[in-house]
Amino acid sequence: MANVTVNGKSYTVDPNSDASMMDQLKAQGVEIVAACNGAGICQTCAVKVNEGELTEKTETEEMMDLPDGQRLSCQCHPKSEEVDIELVY
């Protein structure tokens, strides 16, 4: 399990789950906007990574050309035990 801090609050995310980091955080009450419901096209689930490592960018994310340090939370899982992120939207 990884400890993921979102806007200063801590949550637990299973790195091996089929559910994305976004889905797992939403299930714990984090209000992440997900206009495309995790399809990887809307970018509203974007997060800024302050600390820690996430899984490699998916092809979808590579095509998005996100600003440096930002990831789509519907396309990744934590890689390190501690991750600190901020919601962009």
- Using CB under 6 A, list all residues that contact ligand FES: 34-36, 38-45, 72, 74
Question: Closest distance between ligand FES and the C-beta of residue 72, in Å?
Answer: 5
Nearer to ligand FES, 5 or 44 (CB): 44
Q: Is the dihedral of CA 32, 49, 9, 55 positive or negative?
A: positive
Label residue 53 exposed, middle or buried (CB < 10 Å: 0-12, 13-18, 19+): middle
Nearer to ligand FES, 2 or 61 (CB): 61
The DSSP bridge partners found for residue 6 are 9, 85
Nearer to ligand FES, 2 or 46 (CB): 46
